[in-house]
Amino acid sequence: RYGDSAGGFCYQESAQLAAATRNRFVRWTTSGDAVELVEESLDVNLLNNAVRLRIQGCPFLPGGVHLCEVQSHLVVLLITGQTVHRLLLPHPARMYRSELITESQMQSVFTDIGKINFRDPSNYYVIPSVPGLASNSVASAAWLSSEGEALFALPSASGGIFVLKLPPHDAPGTVSVVELKQSSVMQRFLTGWMPTAIRGDCGPSDLPISLSVHCLDHDAFLFALCQDHKLRMWSYKDQMCLMVADLLEFMPVSRDLRLAAGTGHRLRLAFSQSLGLYLGVYMHAPKRGQFCVFQLVSTESNRYSLDHISSLFSSQETLVDFALTSAEIWALWHNEENQTVVKYINFEQNVAGQWNQVFVQPLPEEEVTVRHDQDPRETYLEYLFMPGQFTNAAIQKALQIFSQGTERHMDLTWDELKKEVTLAVESEFQGSVTEYECSPEEFWQLQVEFWSKFYACCLQYQEALSRPLALHLNPYTSMVCLLKKGSLSFLVPCSLVDHLYLLSNEHLLTEDDAAIFDDLEMSRDVVCLVQCLRLIGESISLEMAFIMEMACSRLQPPEKAAEQILEDLIANDTENVMEDIHSKLQEIRNPIHAIGVLIREMDYETDVDMERAHHLNMRMNLTQLYGSGTAVDVVCWGVCKIATIRFLICRDLLILQQLLLRLGDPMVLGGGQLFQSQQDLLHRTSPLLLSYYLIRWASQCLASDVPVDTLESNLQHLSVLELADTTALTPHKLVSGPQTIVELFFQEVARKHIISRLFLQPNTSLAETSLNWPHLITAIVADFLPLLWPSNPGFLFPECLMGSCQYTQLQEYIRLLQPWCHVNMGSCCFMMGRCYLVMGEGHKALDCFCQAASEVGREEFLDRLIQPEEGEVVSTPRLQYYNKVLRLLDMVGLPELVIQLATLAIMESADDWRSQATLRTCIFKHHLDLGHNSEAYVALTQNPDPSRQLDCLRQLVVVLCERSQLQDLVEFPYVNLHNEVVGIIESHARAVDLMTHNYYELLYAFHIYRHNYRKAGTVMFEYGMRLGREVRTLRGLQKQGNCFLAAINCLRLIRPEYAWIVQPASGAVYERPGASPKRSHDGECTAVPSTCQIEILELEDLERECVLARIRLTLVQHDLSAAAVAGNSTPEETVALLVRAGLFDTAVTLCQTFKLPLTPIFEGLTFKCIKLQLGGEAAQAEAWDWLAANQLSALVTTKESSATDEAWRLLSSYLERYPSQNSLYHRCVINKLLAHGIPLPNWLINSYKRVDAAELLRLYLNYDLLEEAVDLVLEYVDAVLGKGHQYFGIEFPLSATAPMVWLPYTAIDQLLQALRESTTNHYNVMLYQKLHDKMEDYQQKVSVATRDRLYRR
């Protein structure tokens, strides 16, 4: 098995701004027979970007992964101990056109790797046993020829190199093996005789230890650094060695070194179009190493030689890897303490051979300090899950071991992992506690024990995964990465101040390099000052550091904390650190100036607000530049590192300033500097320290996952405030690790601002198309810090937190900020108010909003908040602010707070009646919503705008009616609004459904309360009329009766001469709001009839209407089906309905009330008698119902009477009870009977004979009843003559002394004529004769009586 290895590959166009492969690279790690390939991008999040390949039983050679780019493919060449492989992947430029890349994620080149046939014989080959792979060398090289062949160079077992060639993937061919080996003669000619020591166990002297290839158009130069310390250069095409160079000539050499095999040597190439090919060689010797840099030089006759550029020495022992550019060497070591050391040097400019140190991220602390006032679980979880401490993989592996591999924890999110860790440790802990009871101290100790055990496990895996394997250097963008076993680190440039502070004393700048500023003296002062700060920093214990941390967290003055730390330092100074600091201070010529320079270097405060982001250009493909999770992580971690270091610098600077104040020596203070300037510097350092503390806190503060409903409600709030466009609303849920709020801010907001500033500003030096990582990352961080800087006028960071619903974090941010930062105070108050609002603490929110109001017009965020909408009337800024906040509170649903704030705003708007009207309306609305009716009424009366006042009044009426709070509505005084209220209630009464709303009753109560009885009566009468017209139901008629009674009562309360009302208009005349116009048959709108005539109704009229209403009700109670027509029927129609229903008594009452004839009643009753006489038993049964409804005169009888008898009896009683002029009712009854062919009952004939026998005769004639007519005439003649005269109502019969009598001669003549004409009927002839004789007899008697009478005269 070979050792683990790693490497990287960068696309040729990775520095081109417009390329699809911009900022993309592939990294790989090998371990045994497995290789992991990961494609990284700094611009977009790549999907399916990691793949793990395993070639069973074939361990990978260290560095045995090579990637080559051709036009349409990315070719992966793999070399194991037994085989070589070729994989073809699609090139990203072929997958995507660069100008279309606007999404935040896209597919990686490894997306379709599963489709590759790994067993395709044309793409792999087993290494032949002859010449065989050398056992004691792991060197390898691979490349693609210009024809597309895959070539693998490997060390041969017999010495030298052999090259395997796979034919092009798209052309048939066979695999060939070529061995590059010099003939023995040639060998001796070129190199002389080799010492025999090397030829022993180490194998051949020309065995390559490190191989590199440089491709030309149609050839490849193969460079082999062999174990005989010689560098050989081969031409693959010519298969000949072009050059051999003995590298021992370039290093101080001993005999031992010359005889030892050079197994630790390394070779790297760097090619530059302008400078040619550079070779970097690391020559390994015990306890030391040396780098040599050469340039390949060719003469005219194709002879090659090396031009020695530089030799650089290093004392570190174990070189892990190094990288070469045409100007620099970057080297990675492991030192004796197993720590990673990275250094770089510019070999052309650095004459002194001084390496520059790279400050590597240290491993997490070996032990976690848990104070007795802390909960061990919380403390350890905070350490374990603090961003940047442990990787997800390390914690997952530790969890698996800790829970003894019972279950696999794969792909857990950060929160899920936290829960699993807590469960695992707690369950282990619970399982081990055997005692039923233990003291709190023992419990605490046990907790610490188990948590520290798990922490140690995590630390072990983190250390293993953090082991560096290689450096990856991108020659196109100058980006350097550190490839570790389980992760990837980026190297970013360090600012000068941080560099000086971090640099250990032995590396501190030499005299020549100290010119960091133009003024050499000033440079020396600053260097000495930083050395003093380092001395202080190294002396500060954990307890002392904690004092400052707590002071910042608890909002105590840092100056006091610095003073306390200084006292502790002086009290515990066992190593005379104070003396060293004092002597260093003596070297500083002008401490005040030096401190001022240092503060200026660290201060990011800007006077002008950074311009808001331009729209990023799509064609230039800037929308996604540095937008991937990886880039965000790097930038934000860089900011966190700067903030952490500078917090320490500021802390130490504060302590040093306190020391200077304490010393107070004019010599030290630089020639009698004033105490005041020292105090000024102290007060400048303190906000600087707090600013960095705040940025560091934000860089480590995790963002919360936000539920969708919270996001949506937040979006609604922002749309009310019209801020919705400033922030994104979908915080991305990261699986690999948590997202901090600074990362969230950079990803959603800051990145666009920074990129637009860098690339879209005129005269910017970075607008070239080639991307340079060190320049860009420095510029991005330098532009990002001012956006985070608390005392800058820009307010984007808190705004982003608000937009992303990070309310808890925003509250803590403002808490840490408020006591000392006096910029954007109003905006912070507003944000705090928003947080309280979301947390449900409305009253606190209101206080904050009110505090913020004083800053409106002075701060950019608040100014943006009060931008007026189109068409909005512009009032004062503060009123606009109040208006926005009122809308927000209204939306959240806090009416009490709306009222409070609106009341406050009214004081501001004393001169602006429009605003006053708006605010009063707002107060009215919310009082009304809350049920504060009196307060709502007061707000209404105070409204200066009549139209709004009327709107409010209308709303008050409707709402109180709906809530049935009618007493309040009636009892309000309505000063100067009386008519308006009446008008509103009337219009509502006339416009809405009568049975669901009781506006008429309300209006009645309203008038009664004010003793206006006539209007009350009018209202109830109108209500009754409309009920009859529109609500034709039993309930409607009941209500109608009550309405008329109420109206009558009202008029009875008035003096008689005023007891009248105006007849209300009919329904068509009302102008009902919203009613559609009535149209005629041809579609034209019909004119509303305008009646000028006014009808006056007096008490009697109302009483009559009341009777009618009561009778209608009686009718409907008897027969519900009549309701539909009875409701609005006239008295005549009602009589007809009553008759139909059989309610004859009621009908008589109605006719008498309205002075109507009773004819319809008699006709109806007669018809019912006829029906009963002709009907069957069913009709008889039915008749009892209506008969019972009429009062029959009591009759004592022994015989059971039928319904028919009772009906006839009722008719008879009516004829007796209601006499009529000219016996009209008898006539109509007989008419009806005869019309239906019913024989007249005797009682009727007798009754009518007594009243009008002549009319009866005429009726008989009309209906052609000749026999009955003859009988009647005969009886009548007898009665006149004195026989039964009383039956015909004749008081005195024919006599000479009695008054005159007469007969209906015309009718008798008509009868005789009729009998004469029907001579065919024998019976009629007899009747005629009989009647004729009788009349003759009568004539004689009349003439006798007449003569007697005349005689008596």
d(CA 1317, CA 1328): 10
* Residues 660 and 669 sit within 8 Å (Cβ to Cβ): yes
d(CA 469, CA 83): 23
Give, in order, the Cα–Cα distances in Å from 485 to each of 6, 335, 337, 1343. Answer: 8, 17, 18, 160
Give, in order, the Cα–Cα distances in Å from 357 to each of 90, 282, 341, 354. Answer: 40, 19, 8, 9
1325 against 645, higher pLDDT: 645
What average pLDDT does this structure show over 1129-1137? 90
**pLDDT above 80 for 915:** yes
**Buried b / exposed e across 715-747, counting CB within 10 Å, b at 16+?**
eebbebbebeebbebebbebeebbbbbbbbbbb
- H/E run at residue 694: helix 675-700
Structure tokens at 692: 């960095």
d(CA 40, CA 912): 62
pLDDT for residue 1198 = 44
pLDDT for residue 734 = 39
Separation of first and last alpha carbons in the chain: 176
**pLDDT above 90 for 1292:** no
DSSP string for residues in 307-329: EEEEEEEE--SEEEEEEE-SSEE
**pLDDT above 90 for 937:** yes
d(CA 939, CA 822): 39
What average pLDDT does this structure show over 333-340? 82
d(CA 920, CA 955): 14
In single-letter form, the type of residue at position 357 comes to: Q
Place of tokens 């400052």: 548
What average pLDDT does this structure show over 352-379? 85
Place of tokens 């490997």: 154
* CB neighbour list of residue 987: distance below 8 Å, 6 or more residues apart: 1073
pLDDT for residue 292 = 92
pLDDT for residue 1082 = 64
* Residues 935 and 902 sit within 8 Å (Cβ to Cβ): no
What average pLDDT does this structure show over 1115-1136? 86
845 against 95, higher pLDDT: 845
**Buried b / exposed e across 590-603, counting CB within 10 Å, b at 16+?**
bbbbbbebbbebbe
Q: Give the distance from CA 614 to its chain's centroid.
A: 25
Structure tokens at 1080: 């005629």
Structure tokens at 548: 């400052």
State the average pLDDT for the chain. Answer: 85
Structure tokens at 71: 């036009």
Give, in order, the Cα–Cα distances in Å from 1232 to each of 1167, 1203, 1239. Answer: 7, 19, 11
Structure tokens at 1196: 């004592």
pLDDT for residue 1194 = 54
Which one, of 800, 764, 799, 770, lies nearest residue 783 by Cα?
764
Q: Give the distance from CA 492 to its chain's centroid.
A: 37
For residue 1118, the tally of other CB atoms under 10 A from its CB is 16
Beta-sheet pairing, 45-47 with 105-107: parallel
pLDDT for residue 406 = 61
pLDDT for residue 435 = 66
**pLDDT above 70 for 509:** no
Percent of the chain with pLDDT over 70: 88
Tens digits of residue pLDDT in 709-726: 777 877 887 777 777 554
SS3 of 1147-1190: the string is: HHHHHHHCCCCCHHHHHHHHHHHHHHHHCCHHHHHHHHHHHHCC
* Residues 171 and 148 sit within 8 Å (Cβ to Cβ): yes
Structure tokens at 896: 């009490």
Tens digits of residue pLDDT in 446-462: 888 889 999 999 999 99
Residues in the chain: 1353
d(CA 242, CA 299): 12
Tens digits of residue pLDDT in 770-793: 789 999 999 999 999 999 999 998
Which one, of 928, 929, 907, lies nearest residue 919 by Cα?
907
pLDDT for residue 642 = 95
Confidence band for 12, pLDDT divided at 50, 70 and 90: very high
Tens digits of residue pLDDT in 402-442: 877 666 666 777 788 888 888 888 888 877 776 667 788 88
What average pLDDT does this structure show over 101-111? 78
For residue 359, the tally of other CB atoms under 10 A from its CB is 14
Which one, of 1150, 1147, 1179, 1176, lies nearest residue 1163 by Cα?
1147
Look at residue 208 and give its three-state secondary structure. strand
- H/E run at residue 655: helix 629-663
* Residues 628 and 43 sit within 8 Å (Cβ to Cβ): yes
d(CA 74, CA 947): 76
What average pLDDT does this structure show over 314-323? 84
What average pLDDT does this structure show over 615-623? 61
Percent of the chain with pLDDT over 90: 38
**Buried b / exposed e across 1249-1283, counting CB within 10 Å, b at 16+?**
bebbbbbbbbbbbebebbebbbbbbbbbbbbbbee
What average pLDDT does this structure show over 1126-1154? 88
Strands across the sheet with 220-226, in order?
A: 208-215, 220-226, 230-235, 240-246
**pLDDT above 80 for 200:** no
* Residues 1102 and 1048 sit within 8 Å (Cβ to Cβ): yes
Look at residue 497 and give its three-state secondary structure. helix
- H/E run at residue 788: helix 773-788
d(CA 739, CA 736): 9
pLDDT for residue 120 = 87
Structure tokens at 568: 């502790």
DSSP H helices in 972-1054 = 978-991, 999-1009, 1013-1030, 1034-1052
Place of tokens 């010689």: 230
Structure tokens at 1164: 């109806």
**pLDDT above 80 for 116:** yes
pLDDT for residue 1196 = 44
Tens digits of residue pLDDT in 1250-1284: 888 888 888 888 888 888 888 888 888 888 888 87
pLDDT for residue 614 = 59
